[in-house]
Structure 1
Amino acid sequence: MRRSDGRARWALVAAVARTVPWRAVGAGAVVGLLVVALPRLLSRTPDAWLGVTLLRAAALVFALGLAFLLDDPARRLTAPVPTRRWVRSGLRAALAAPVAALWWAAALALLPEDARPPVGAVTLEAAATAVLALAAAAVAVRFTDEPEPGPSVAAGLLTLALLAASLLPARWDLFVPPGDPNWQAAHVRWAVVLLSATAVWTACTPESLRRLGPRPAS
């Protein structure tokens, strides 16, 4: 019995792994690393401000790839399967997590040490951005019938990032440079973003008990 249960679990993991949109995630990872590698490619030595800006841009690009993580062209076929959506979505996130960790380590390594911002703080920013993308994707999957909401989610995330960078008042600014007096306060706000996005993602992962919108005519 235990052996058959183990085989069933591995079969589920393998089946979910085949549905993960690795091309979108991989494209975000590659472009993100290219962004961080720009100073090396141009034979320039970045300073601390440029270093944190490049890492933030790379984290956003990678998050745009993660916005496609819950895309499932066969969603209408997989909806009635006995495996719950939160299990399938959780497996997708678990499969992408090691890739994200390795990618982030590579992005940090590409920056010279002198240009590298405080690792813990900038990692918090990257994690919040990634989870925000996953939360937005989970909202789209829960409240719409779109099997591949990734492009819309990515566009919305990019728009939100641009608005946050340009329109937030100074007291709510998230994108402060290292050494700024508001650095610590900004990362408290980043922690709030991370916790809020995690809560939304958790709440929206299960199947909805009823579908929003008009019911089809019988």
Structure 2
Amino acid sequence: MGAVRGVSGALVGAVARTVPWRAVGAGAVVGLLVVGLPRMLSGEPDPWLALNLLRGAALVFALGLAFLLDDPARDLTTPVTTPRWLRTSLRVALVAPLAALWWTAALALVPEEARPPLGAITLEAAATVTLALTTAALAVRLSDEPEPGPSVAATLLTTACLTPLLLPFHWDLFVPVDDPRWDAAHERWAGVLVGAVLVWAACGPEPLRRRRVFGRHRPARALGRPGA
């Protein structure tokens, strides 16, 4: 049991050193600045503004988490015996408590009289963050890019900007609290969250077939064989 604990501790420490803490921290800090903006301004709290600032803060934090699976040493970590799903899950587990504290602080920055329903806005934030992680997992699964974070963040930001414009009115996700579609919109948010989690789970295993194909080609190129 002691050996198992030692190995587990060594693995957690190794994974923690690979987490891009600067990117995650930058997303957290900027997100708090976004949601805390009304505190710096004079005037009565605006529930509509507070709702959208919380949505903006969640998006900014998700952009930071888009870099979570970046691994400059990916070519070295791919062949290790520890499965990739475990390494990526550890990264998420290391960041999850910080994310919970961050979201609690973001909600606390909004005056109580302007704060939207906590469960509904937390569902939106969870779905947004999970979409960022799922997009990163897809990038890792479908490519050999060791640091897909910038392209993942760009994809997430583009999707966030285009979704309100492309979705039909009755499928809108970003609705005000007093809108009759509020409950239906959050049923859709729950569907988005569940779908993102399922895709994340499907991206866990290493794509062994593609790795073997690349593995056969690399020695040929190294030997300088024509047509390799």
Higher mean displacement: 133-142 or 162-171: 162-171
Structure 1 runs not aligned, ≥5 long = none
Higher mean displacement: 166-175 or 84-93: 166-175
* 1:96 counterpart residue number: 95
Instruction: Give the AA of the match of 2:42.
Output: S
Equivalent runs, 1:53-132 vs 2, <5 Å: 53-132=52-131
Instruction: Give the AA of the match of 2:66.
Output: A
Residues 38-72 of structure 1: per-residue CA shift (max 9 Å, x gap)? 01112343311111100000000000001000000
Higher mean displacement: 159-168 or 125-134: 159-168
* 1:150 counterpart residue number: 149
Structure 2 counterpart SS, 1:164: helix
* 1:13 counterpart residue number: 12
CA contact (8 A) 1:66 1:134 kept: yes
1:165: Cα distance to partner? 1.9
Identity %: 69
CA contact (8 A) 1:141 1:149 kept: yes
1:31: Cα distance to partner? 0.3
* 2:36 counterpart residue number: 37
Query: How many Å separate the matches in 2 of 1:43 and 1:105?
Result: 23
Instruction: Give the AA of the match of 2:165.
Output: S
Change (3 A) 1:47 1:143: same
CA RMSD of aligned residues (A): 1.4
Instruction: Give the AA of the match of 2:117.
Output: P
Query: How many Å separate the matches in 1 of 2:38 and 2:129?
Result: 24
Query: How many Å separate the matches in 2 of 1:167 and 1:40?
Result: 33
Structure 2 runs not aligned, ≥5 long = 221-228
Residues 85-124 of structure 1: per-residue CA shift (max 9 Å, x gap)? 0000000000010010000000000000011000000000
1:36: Cα distance to partner? 0.4
Instruction: Give the AA of the match of 1:73.
Output: P
Residue correspondences, number: 217
Higher mean displacement: 40-49 or 14-23: 40-49
Equivalent runs, 1:129-208 vs 2, <5 Å: 129-208=128-207
Higher mean displacement: 19-28 or 158-167: 158-167
1:27 and 2:46 equivalent? no
Query: How many Å separate the matches in 2 of 1:29 and 1:102?
Result: 10
CA contact (8 A) 1:143 1:211 kept: no
CA contact (8 A) 1:39 1:45 kept: no
* 1:50 counterpart residue number: 49
Query: How many Å separate the matches in 2 of 1:15 and 1:43?
Result: 47
Query: How many Å separate the matches in 2 of 1:116 and 1:104?
Result: 13
Change (3 A) 1:81 1:118: same
Query: How many Å separate the matches in 1 of 2:192 and 2:114?
Result: 25
The TM-score with structure 1 as length reference comes to: 0.96
Change (3 A) 1:44 1:208: farther
